[in-house]
Amino acid sequence: MITSPVFRGKRYAVLGLARSGAATVEALLASGASVVAWDSDEAKRDAILPGTGRGTARKASGGGGSMQSTPLVESPLHHPADGPPPRAGEELTFADPLAIDLAGFEAVVVSPGVPLNRHPIAAKARDAGVPVIGDIELFAQARPSLPPHKVVGITGTNGKSTTTALIHHILETAGVPSLMGGNIGLPILSRAPLAEGGVYVLELSSYQIDITFTLDCDVAVLTNITPDHLDRYAGFEGYAASKARLFAMQSPDHGAVIATEDDATRAIADGLRAPAQEHAVTVVTSHDIADQSRWPALQGPHNAQNAACAIAACRLLGLSHDAIEQGLRTYPGLPHRMERVAEKAGVLFVNDSKATNATATAPALAAYPLIHWILGGLPKTDDLDDCKPHFDHVRAGYTIGEAGPMFARILREAGKPVTESITLDVAVRDAAAAARAGEVVMLSPACASFDQFSDYEARGEAFRAAVGAL
């Protein structure tokens, strides 16, 4: 894991013990810090104990802010099989930060999912003069302790996961040590540090940027900004300002890559290029990519934008044209995001289960000219308006789930043949029977999954299984 002497002897409160929170606790304890941890889910609190083997678990009493030494589990926290016993400074206690005095804490480390515009921890920490930060800020503070390296940070409303994974893949293909983390993959603090010359590639949501203050990316990338998460911000302008903070944290001579295909990203790029800023900015658009045919997992205009961002970032990192091209050709794509599952009798099967609304489905429809479209599930809207510009690519529709009848009506009104398959396995068989060589059978539901599946990943796995059973 990533540790640093900068944390030694300091005291942190960690609120939220899902993957990133649990990794934060481990990294801070291993660095010699003391930690007060909390999650409202008792199972998450219990789960963190066997892995630490350190300190004494205590819980806050009442609302007075004091702590009692009442064990949260009946068995001792340390067992010989768990590894070495606690060292000085490695104390783990459990208490809700809202119920204790935060004076003397170095920081409150929160999960990005904690809504700081509504959660009382923000005011509590502010009154105590204690910053509220996230695990990415801890990584930023630990950087001077790590072997010399570079960091690429990627943000944007859409495309940041693909762009992050693509940059990481190009680097690995070129033989450059690389780790992918942040809003994708494993928590960055849980990973072993890279050797000298490595590159950390971090996907950063606006929530993560909000609680990060010193991350000076060697290359910062912005894909696009469209309205999203507005319940957390003072309108769209507040959301866009959160994305812009990634560049405000940069040294001016470090590289910025911005896809300027919307008003918000153009405004950020113009601001960075102003004479008073003198920021090094590389502007890209999807139109920079003339031919995607060599990159099978990067089809469609949205992936042209993702590729343009990744190419520019990798050039700033010093990679050659040939190394970048090799990575683009061999990039396998992300699971459930326009994932090429199989090709049978000349028919390509594509899993785009992550597309849980019509806006997310539209780029997938744009990517292929002859599509047998499987759609439906738990609807988020009562229309497919964002998809209509690409209906000419749809050979036929196969509807499933709660939204099936509504979507079948919309497609029939647009003159498209529709089969109401009801369930996904039947839809795969129906579409496969109708598709011809050169055509695509694609699951891109434009709906949430919860009427028939536990999540979009389970839905995507079911699609893979159904294709495999053909």
- Tens of pLDDT along 245-269? 999 999 989 999 999 999 999 999 9
For position 68, what pLDDT does the model report? 35
- 432 with 318, same domain? no
For position 237, what pLDDT does the model report? 93
- Domain-ending residue, one of 67, 99, 133: 133
pTM of the model: 0.85
Catalytic, 279? Answer no
Catalytic, 229? Answer yes
For position 275, what pLDDT does the model report? 76
Instruction: Identify the active-site residue in 158, 183, 306, 351.
Output: 183
Tell me the CA end-to-end span of the chain in Å, nearest whole number: 43
- Residue 300 one-letter amino acid: G
The mean pLDDT value for 374-389 works out to: 95
Two tokens at 101?
A: 């005095």
For position 189, what pLDDT does the model report? 97
- 304 with 186, same domain? yes
Instruction: Identify the active-site residue in 150, 160, 302, 393.
Output: 160
- 102 with 149, same domain? no
- 192 with 117, same domain? no
Instruction: Identify the active-site residue in 229, 380, 388, 416.
Output: 229
- Domain-ending residue, one of 95, 111, 133: 133
The mean pLDDT value for 356-379 works out to: 95
Give per-residue pLDDT as tens, 15-74: 999 999 999 999 999 999 999 999 999 999 988 875 444 444 444 433 333 333 333 332
- Domain-ending residue, one of 88, 108, 133: 133
Local confidence band at 229 (pLDDT 50, 70, 90 cut-offs)? confident
CATH of the domain at 128: 3.40.50.720
Write out the chain in H/E/C secondary structure.
CCCCHHHCCCEEEEECCCHHHHHHHHHHHHCCCEEEEECCCHHHHHHHHHHHCCCCCCEECCCCCCEECCCCCCCCCCCHHHCCCCCCCCCEEECCHHHCCCCCCCEEEECCCCCCCCCCHHHHHHHHCCCEECHHHHHHHHHHHCCCEEEEEEECCCCHHHHHHHHHHHHHHCCCCEEEEECCCCCHHHCCCCCCCEEEEEECCHHHHHCCCCCCCCEEEECCCCCCCHHHCCHHHHHHHHHHHHHHCCCCCCEEEEECCCHHHHHHHHHHHCCCCCCEEEEECHHHCCCCCCCCCCCCHHHHHHHHHHHHHHHHCCCCHHHHHHHHHHCCCCCCCCEEEEEECCEEEEECCCCCCHHHHHHHHHHCCCEEEEEECECCCCCCHHHHHHHHHEEEEEEECCCHHHHHHHHHHCCCCEEEEECHHHHHHHHHHHCCCCCEEEECCCCECCCCCCCHHHHHHHHHHHHHCC
pLDDT at 159 over 70: yes
Q: Which residues contact 342 (CB under 8 A, 6 or more apart)?
A: 348, 349, 467, 468
User: At residue 392, what are phi and psi to the nearest 5 degrees?
Assistant: -70, -15
Domain count, the chain: 3
pLDDT at 211 over 80: yes
Specify the residue for token string 């940041």. 160
The mean pLDDT value for 293-297 works out to: 94
- 424 with 319, same domain? no
For position 50, what pLDDT does the model report? 55
- 274 with 179, same domain? yes
- 162 with 294, same domain? yes
Local confidence band at 228 (pLDDT 50, 70, 90 cut-offs)? confident
Specify the residue for token string 């390296």. 149
CATH of the domain at 395: 3.90.190.20
Give per-residue pLDDT as tens, 339-360: 999 999 999 999 999 999 898 8
Q: What percent of the chain is modeled with pLDDT above 70? A: 91
The mean pLDDT value for 443-466 works out to: 96
Across the chain, mean pLDDT equals 90
- 431 with 311, same domain? no
- 59 with 96, same domain? yes
- 361 with 457, same domain? yes
How many Cα neighbours within 13 Å face the side chain of 186?
A: 10
Local confidence band at 164 (pLDDT 50, 70, 90 cut-offs)? very high
Catalytic, 160? Answer yes
- 400 with 319, same domain? no
Give per-residue pLDDT as tens, 396-408: 999 999 999 999 9
For position 63, what pLDDT does the model report? 36
- 317 with 357, same domain? no
CATH of the domain at 234: 3.40.1190.10
The range of the structural domain enclosing residue 296 comes to 142-330
